[in-house]
Chain A
Amino acid sequence: MTLPINRRQALVGGSALLAAATTGLLKPRFAHAADDTITIRTEEDLSNLDPANRTGPIDVNVINAVQQGLIAFKPGSTEWELDAAEDLKQVSDTEISFKLRPGLKFTDGYGDVDRRGREVLLRTFHQAGFRGQEGHLCRRLAGAGPCRVTGPLTGKLVLKNAAPALWVIALADGSGRIISKKAFEKLGEKGIATTLIGSGPYVLKEWKQRDHYTLVANPDYKGPIKSHFKTIIGKPIAEQKTADLAFQAGEIDFTQISPTNVKTFKALPKTTVTEVPAIDYIWFGPNIEAKPFDNVKVRQALRLAVDIDAVLTGAYGGLYPRANALLAPGLIGYWKDAPVYKRDVEAAKKLLEEAGQGGGFKTRLTILSNAENQAVAAIVPGPISRKSESSSRSRRWKPRPIGPWARTTPAPSWNSRWSSIAASSTRASRPNGSPRTRSAPGTGSAGRTRSSTIFMSGAPRRWTRRNARRSTSRPSSFRTSLRPSSGSPTISTPSRARTG
């Protein structure tokens, strides 16, 4: 079959297309088309929606919106409150009993929770964890045992050892999501990685991989959380510049923005820029079990040799103040009077000599390749190398932009969680560990003692949103949930944002 098109027809067709574009006929449906719909940017796509195998904060935000836990974090807080559980008690150091709310119902016809009490399943507690390994909670949290159903709506968690941190880092978080046993058995581990069945305030209506996912309010949801938007569309946009442009073009309503663009976005109409104080960590992660970094004096010397202020000026344009401790201001455990380690070459030399490294040594600095890190990598070795020129031996640093293992910039709560895990493990390992704690994560000092952190920058996060709505665009609807991330926080869905 042929489609004969002459030049005139081609010109007419082209003109028609152009006219359609300029008159808006072919325009895409922009994000703010409806008041009850919000389009948000996420930095990555969803990966694995199985709570036990989730890969990061994007996954867990959606999981938390669709699946309930016994308890949940209060919006914008590290305190928890009852969610799917009507009642929750720590019976003993190793036993927690719960009673579910009546009327909870799994999506996609997987049954009422109350009618199928025995099908309620706390995935991570009950099933083998990642890739058939022992569930990480079982191993890390002093051995969470099985979730035993004791009645239609009641059950108990039996732990092998006391695990006080279980409440905040498991029960209230992604690990403690309640999933349908029937759904798990039907879909299998591969199926529940992409199909999200839950009883929460939202339903995952669509997930077109690497393009968008759509959450819609669950009409059968019976819990206390209010959904401020009927529809939430998440668009994974990896490139920050693209997100900035998409926001300006009106294709997304909510995004993290580049700090350098704050003025530009503040000048946009119907736009609110929210600055969230946070800490952006960059640390050296040497192997402290191998020479020469097994000697604490070498690590201390390194800390004194790096010019942190120069890094902040050179790599971050002097935008960020210096942070001197792991926890951000406002978090419980924030160390206000933490020592400030200024560059002191002589002291560093002395420490190296005491460590038997007076002649210097060679090592390699591995970074994740991006513009900021490359600037850091260029600045950090400079003074050290220059100093070494006066030494008897060359001590060169070779920045290599490859693997991420030695460098990461987690969001504050990532570190908070990390500290909390370390601290709680310590506490739980005591013979008489505290049976239960409701304190915020990150209260321990494990972060400081374990860390080989050299410098940090107190980098506030900038978020922007469009005020295109009525009451639905209240700031309270947009809570930032700083979760484990490889560099940036993500936003929580409005399901976590309760106005009371």
Chain B
Amino acid sequence: MQTSFLKYLALRLATAALAVVGGVVLLLSLTPAHSREPRGHPARAARHPELIAALNVQMGLDLPLPQRLLKFFVDLAQGDLGTDILTNRPVLDAILEALPNTLALAVASMVLAIAIGIPLGAIGAFRPNGKIDQLIAFFSIGFISAPSFVVSIFVLLLFAVRLDWFPVLGVGTGFLDQLWHLVLPAFSLAILWIGYIARLLRSSLLEVLGEPYIRTMRAYGVPERVVLLKYALKPACIPTLAVLGMGVGELLGGAVFTEVIFNRPGLGSLVYQSISTRNYPVVQGGIFVIVLVFVVTNLLVDLSYAWIDPRGRERTHLEGERPA
């Protein structure tokens, strides 16, 4: 069994590595699509055509794609993601400064989404099609439909400007201050996932509640609350867990609007600003890290999914022992 799991792990690791390499190939392939445009800093490039060539050399854009790929991976093996063409700083430094802010935002959003979304989904499934369920459905769909940047503006207007409860800008200093700066952006970002998780959990919970073993428990007189919370909720959360893995990955790269509006110096806003200044080394490094985190997160979720769900473990076990 252990051997089969190791085989499964090796397979998933290989798939994940392939996904990262594929992402890098795609990323580097897209860069020369701008070859008709000046690639350097716009202000400089417009005035100094010879600087464009110098910048291209510095960014490695003068090399053919295979050489660029090779150079990228060789540099990567040495922990070098390139140099910021504007500040002359190592790209890795800029990313390591930004990444904790984005991770904090993504994790806080997801925690908030889970903390609110799962109870809402459970309440909805407890009395399906009741008034509370309909109300939750109404809000959930509303949350899913509301773009995060619109929500961000509204929560800022209400909680920062009118009520003066929370700050508008930045990430803060010190743990409590950083936590306080995290509330509004995390909430804005979590809104969509609250609705999504609530709807997803409700439907999977209803499906589980229709299973024969639940019917048996009810027949034995197990209280409904115990049936729901103890025996139905855990298996119903498994599909949600898989979605959460994707969600964390998406939040890492998709928090751009929230980071821009709340002026948080995170990874998304770093990549956004670098795209607007055509700072390709930072763009490449930033997207590479986002891809990496996305793939690693999904890998961990896949592994935990197999670990949590006994049926999944069994399937893995059987597939591992299946003769070739």
Contact = CB atoms under 8 A, between A and B. Distances in A.
Given A21-B180, A238-B260, A241-B153, A210 B34 contact: no
Contacts of B164: 27, 249-250
A237 B263 contact: yes
- The B interface, classified by DSSP as helix, strand, loop or mixed, is helix
A131 B54 contact: yes
Contacts of A239: 260-261, 263
A241 B261 contact: yes
B94 A209 contact: yes
- The A interface, classified by DSSP as helix, strand, loop or mixed, is loop
B156 interface: yes
A131, A237, A251 interface centre (most CB from chain B within 10 Å): A131
A240 to B, nearest CB: 11
A444 interface: no
Contacts of B97: 209-210
A56 interface: yes
A251 B169 contact: yes
Interface string B109-153: 000000000000000000000000000000000000000000001
A251 B54 contact: no
A48 B86 contact: yes
A333 B97 CA distance: 47
Contacts of A45: 273
A242 B168 contact: yes
Size bracket, chain B contacts: 35 or more
A190 interface: yes
A232 B160 CA distance: 23
B144 to A, nearest CB: 23
A339 interface: no
A484 interface: yes
Interface in B184-236: none
A59 B50 CA distance: 23
A209 B265 contact: yes
Interface in A107-139: 130-133, 136
18 contacts: A21-B180, A48-B86, A48-B87, A55-B43, A131-B51, A133-B51, A136-B48, A190-B88, A190-B89, A193-B87, A194-B88, A238-B260, A238-B263, A238-B273, A249-B161, A250-B164, A251-B167, A405-B38
Given A28-B177, A252-B169, 15 more contacts: A22-B165, A28-B180, A48-B87, A130-B48, A130-B54, A131-B58, A133-B54, A209-B97, A210-B98, A241-B261, A242-B263, A245-B168, A246-B169, A249-B164, A249-B167
Interface of B: 34, 37-38, 41-44, 46-48, 50-51, 54-55, 58, 86-89, 94, 97-98, 153, 156-157, 160-161, 164-172, 176-177, 180-181, 260-263, 265, 269-270, 273
Interface of A: 21-22, 26-28, 44-45, 47-48, 55-56, 130-133, 136, 189-190, 193-194, 209-212, 235-239, 241-242, 245-246, 248-252, 402-405, 408, 484, 486
